[in-house]
Amino acid sequence: MARIARNSVSKKAQGAAAVYEFVPFLVRRVLGWRVGPRGILLAQEASSGVITIIHRVRDACASDVVEHRIAQLRPDTDTYQLYWKKGNGRWAAYYDERGDRFVGCLAESLCEISRDPFGCYWA
């Protein structure tokens, strides 16, 4: 009887890793029109599953590279809660037009950031 070597990483962890490899591409695809040719968009993933979207741009007057953290997506079971960065540097929950906390899948969250009806992300 042949033994099959088991992988030390679970199938759920492998699936999550595949999703997180796709996130930076999806962020650039959905939000790229917002930054145009100036700068690039990055998606950083923390070990807790939090995804932070960053706009990296070169300062017009100097050669310094500036990073603006524009959004966070925090996991909530199978969905994400959307957060935006206030002027004081703290993250705040994002609320939709009805006044409810915005909770949605990854694609819905990125579309809401792209739409930005309240000017929280691209002001």
The residue count of the chain comes to: 123
The domain ranges of the chain are 13-115
Phi, psi of 50 (to 5 degrees): -70, 130
Q: What pLDDT shows up at residue 1? A: 46
Contact call for residues 25 and 19 (beta carbons, < 8 A):
no
Contact call for residues 113 and 121 (beta carbons, < 8 A):
yes
The CA-atom distances, in angstroms, between 50 and each of 59, 71, 72, 80 are 27, 10, 7, 9
Phi, psi of 109 (to 5 degrees): -65, -45
Neighbours of 46 (CB within 10 A): 10
Confidence (pTM):
0.77
Cα 31 versus chain centre, distance? 10
Could you tell me what percent of the chain has a pLDDT over 90?
41
- Measure the CA–CA gap between 118 and 107, rounded to whole angstroms: 19
pLDDT grade for 7, boundaries at 50, 70 and 90: low
Q: What is the pLDDT of residues 32-87, one digit of tens each?
A: 888 877 788 999 988 888 999 999 887 777 678 888 899 999 998 889 999 999 98
